[in-house]
Structure 1
């Protein structure tokens, strides 16, 4: 097991941590919930641009506590959810349409157990800004290999405003922890292109206040 896997398991293999993560993204009247809602709307809009059928499979990786789940009720996908943390997946399972959830599988996003090109769509939310460049590249290589049509990725990106915001927040609230490894939009575009993913749309979810961005990528 790599150091990355060990560190991630230590961070997320906790029922308490999973519960805190879910509350941050789903509790009423919080900034995290508002950004999650904007992200869900944006992803639903991107998925709606394509004609999906019941034969199409979607992979949600890392699925976390199931942020993607609620919007999948309106699409016909057969769904696979995957995360390195079983504790996260316990909370995620109920979010998906149960009649089309094929499996919840524990796995590392950099080396999944799935056959190449086995999903029409792969969705990776809120992950790439958490890991260093080497693991970003391994992740992008893996999700590109798994998809036959579309990849949707969301992550925090690096901007001058975000650097200023985080420096200010750190002074006002010393416990504030920014995204550890964000990249700027152009650098991310280049990393996607290097793995054969064409950026068809890329946009900030709530500029300039949120660092969150969504990328729609085609094979």
Structure 2
């Protein structure tokens, strides 16, 4: 929580000193519209993550079973962990710095810089530094995700859609399917066969390439619909 408060304070300070703006420049208003964007983003990537996990289950011939020791308190604690980590990352990579970059050098270069930084950051958060192949795969996967989230920020002029997109994926991945650092949570995988290197790579890249592409198409469609409705 302290990290979020520090990120918010630094964001506010940067926006004030460089752009003479408040934290509201990150697109928290109007509340109804931004909350809707957040929820839509959450549902989209949550469903996509669900499909990717069941594709993996199909390829491995495994099943998902309910963790009998799970409680609502544990799920809420895990959700809170996901929310804090995602919000901190959004404030850093899709917050004041991205907003300022867009104002100074334009959207295209700014989105690319944000995506590259996001990919490099995950070398450290995933602990793959030094493993060349893992570094390449993590950079491609998380970099593409970061590109999609940054593009969503640029097009909607708000942090709320990328926040929802990011949280939807992380919550389903970490808490629902127990793939995160918190161990077994709601569902655990049972049985199945180990995937071959090529099949495993295909499954990995499916989640980390198809999902960003789908998000880009969705954001493009949503922005077009919004512009059309304003003209009517």
TM-score range, shorter chain: 0.3 to 0.5
Which structure dedicates a bigger proportion of its chain to helix?
Answer: 2
Name the structure with the higher strand share: 1
Higher relative contact order (CA closer than 8 Å, sequence separation 6+): 2
Decide which structure has the larger Cα Rg and report it.
2
